Structure 1
Amino acid sequence: MKNLCRDIPEDVITVILSRLPVKSLLRCKSVCKPWLSIISNPSFIKSHLHNAIIASRKIPKIANILDPVQFLELQDLSFTCPVHIDFIVMPHLFHETLLEPHVIGCYNGIICLCDMSGMSVYFWNPSIRQCMKIPSPPIHECLGASINFGYDLINNDYKLLIVNYRQNSDNQSSIIQVYSANAGSWREFEARIKRNWMGSTSGNTTVKGVLYIQCSEGLISFNWHTEVLVLLPFPSFTQRRLSPAMNFEGSVAMFFQYVDDESVCLWTLDNVSGQMTWRRRHRVKGNHPGSSLCLTLYLGAGLFYGRKLISPHYHNVLYDSEKNVTKICGPLCLSNNIARGYTESLVSLQGFQQVE
């Protein structure tokens, strides 16, 4: 093995290693010191992550986050699935410190979990079995709060956003709290935000460094770098929304139903000449007036998952946006905690500690 490490050019070894899964790379660290040096290099970690993201676009992947009991129940189920599902067991630490832990989001292999209160939060990379607890933010008397997780592309920084609604306010003023993993601290400022703008994180997504939060009037964009909030109204001619906001191949995507003929169309929110503009991609074929279609999850590779009423029952369906075909499929058998767009990575943050 020593001869292998010495005889093969380092650039060739680097290319080969960058194509391996994380589990294999962790073992390769013990082969020899040169390999350990290569795999631990920040530029290699970035290159490996890039390759993993490219590969995940061809093979849809979802991380199903389970406790040990759920894992035993689901791993024995026999079912066909259109995507690759990673069944990941949460460390006992989370069950000991988090009351009903749930996933807020994931980016570059880093999964963010919090408890019901939103005050106990962890950043966790299950691939390398490392995590860290985020310090609690200053507490304010408020009517409610929403928490979101995202990534600042410019500063390579993982962040949290908490919106606190003031008590006895004019329904406009809120306290914005932002946590930066690079700084290891919170900062806060005030913003004029209607209380009904912010709510559940289930319809939120981050695309190209910008968080999009679904509300009754449109999407609220929050740039993770500039930390600026902007309201982007929904198209005025649509009747109702048939999906949450989703990251569709680098664009924000939603399905809308038209007022006139009840047809369903896929729309994306794109930057056109510096302006965020809604554009219709195509009309969904085979969706007849009166039928109920709800697509809730983008799996990748052009596939959307959801439910459709085919009288008298609802059925699980897959919508292939490339072929413009909707077909009935089996259930995904997912828990309530899923990390969409999950990618294994070697990314480790300052403050990360080993966890079993």
Structure 2
Amino acid sequence: MGETGSECAHCTTDKWIDVEYAENVLANILLRLPVTSLLVCKSVCKRWLRLISSQAFIDLQLLWSKTHSIYIVYPYMDMMMKLYLVKGGGEITKTITFPYCDNLSTLTIICSFDGLLCCINYPWKIDSGMIVEDVTDLEIRICNPVTRKALLLPKGSPSEEYPSIGVAFGPKINEYKIFRFFCAKRISLAKRQSHTNRRQCEVYSSSTGSWSVIGRVPYFPMRSSHSPLGSNHVFVNGKICWFIASDEDQMIPGSILTVDIEETFRTIDLPKEVTEHSYLVDLEGSLCLVAVYDEDEIVNIWVLEEKNEPKWELKCSDHVPFSNDECIEFVVARENEIFFISSNHYYTYDLDHRFWRELDLSSISEKKFPVAFAYTESLLSCGGRMDPQIEDITNKSI
């Protein structure tokens, strides 16, 4: 009996060695594990460490993970980032808490892509002997919440008004550019420049690790009504898209500003008059406009077709399941589903079946400028392909 068991154990061990040395088989097994488990697996042996750390495995894990995307929800803008990973049905799969840091002001998340988050905050400054937020500057961090790594970007140009930013990814995996709009400070009293002439844009590239000034731009992204920090933008089909405020009302979008990875700017007209509660989202690789009309209690969902020339198509128009006194806080899309955060509820809307579902996220007790994004776990470096010195936040703040 004992001899038979020994033979089986020896046979099993031999088979596992065969699997382990066939790295394509081993890689296909490991890439299905959560990233936190992969980080533990690195300590099993040198072969596993080498495999999991390789760029080929990191890219392969990302491709597999993209087919299993979920939502990442940040409901309460605070100095302690508490993030919730939520499935489409509303099940919270994981809660991630970044360590408290007393030298950071309130943080918010402005985008998510390939498992990386872009977080911003106004740094502290001394004004009349008091410590206040410096609203003319932004600290920008690229974070990977599951590997607990973060990169603080170099400081941008001085600005005389709120800077706005947007993040573009690609064309290669783990490459990105950050576009920062700022108002250059006056050179001198004798050489006064108009406010418009001093509006400029600069871009940070992960391939160089530095900022370069593009120069004067005719338009500034519209400030977001739901957040005191960010501007509503989305990266879709190789372009960053922001709203431009209308001439009549600075709280309502009038058109769309876009820029591609080659730093080419253009504008796109909106399909019709929209409302203050309008959002740009990535709907299955196409730019989508979601506009909620409070008085009629309906939502219009438009998709931009760009085969020959830009043309808006009304995807659907439907009644919303909430009253007009309930404000929409944030909207995001994942595959064919749109996620709405209202002042009191969380909803998803299935575009194929025209079906609303209220999510039971009662464990998320408070909201303060909430945001949510489609999210997929990854092992990507925060610094892009150049892979600079990245801050490990396991035992310290971001």
Shorter-chain TM-score bucket reads 0.7 to 0.9
Give the whole-Å Cα distance in 2 for the aligned partners of 1:82 and 1:202: 27
Give the whole-Å Cα distance in 2 for the aligned partners of 1:285 and 1:262: 6
Q: Give the equivalent residue in structure 1 for 2:66.
A: 53
Give the whole-Å Cα distance in 2 for the aligned partners of 1:110 and 1:299: 17
1:206-228 CA-to-partner distances (Å, cap 9, x unmatched) read 113311111222111121x2112
Q: How does 1:167-186 map to 2 (within 5 A)?
A: 168-169=193-194, 171=196, 174-186=199-211
Percent of aligned pairs with the same amino acid: 24
Structure 2: gaps (5+ residues): 1-11, 123-133, 187-192, 225-229, 246-253
Structure 1 stretches of 4+ with a deviation exceeding 6 A read 65-70, 286-293
Q: Give the equivalent residue in structure 1 for 2:235.
A: 206
- Equivalent of 1:300, from 314, 328, 334? 334
Give the whole-Å Cα distance in 2 for the aligned partners of 1:316 and 1:339: 11
The answer to whether the aligner puts 1:353 opposite 2:371 as a matched pair is no
The answer to whether the Cα contact below 8 Å between 1:65 and 1:89 also exists between their aligned partners in 2 is: no
Query: Structure 1's 202 and 146: CA in aligned 2 closer, same or farther, altered over 3 A?
Result: closer
Cα offset, 1:149, TM superposition: 2.8
Give the whole-Å Cα distance in 2 for the aligned partners of 1:130 and 1:227: 28
- Equivalent of 1:250, from 285, 291, 315? 285
Q: How does 1:90-129 map to 2 (within 5 A)?
A: 90-92=98-100, 95-116=101-122, 117=134, 118-129=137-148
What is the root-mean-square deviation in Å for CA atoms of aligned residues?
Answer: 3.5
Which deviates the most, 28-37 or 329-338? 329-338
Which deviates the most, 262-271 or 10-19? 262-271
Cα offset, 1:339, TM superposition: 5.0
Cα offset, 1:2, TM superposition: 7.9
The answer to whether the Cα contact below 8 Å between 1:161 and 1:178 also exists between their aligned partners in 2 is: yes
The answer to whether the Cα contact below 8 Å between 1:162 and 1:176 also exists between their aligned partners in 2 is: yes
Cα offset, 1:186, TM superposition: 0.5
The answer to whether the Cα contact below 8 Å between 1:63 and 1:342 also exists between their aligned partners in 2 is: no
Give the whole-Å Cα distance in 2 for the aligned partners of 1:128 and 1:289: 41
Q: Give the equivalent residue in structure 2 for 1:323.
A: 353
Query: Structure 1's 211 and 106: CA in aligned 2 closer, same or farther, altered over 3 A?
Result: same
Give the whole-Å Cα distance in 2 for the aligned partners of 1:157 and 1:290: 42
AA at the equivalent of 2:176:
Y
Give the whole-Å Cα distance in 2 for the aligned partners of 1:190 and 1:315: 43
Q: Structure 1 length normalisation: TM-score?
A: 0.79
Q: How does 1:130-145 map to 2 (within 5 A)?
A: 130-140=149-159, 142-145=160-163
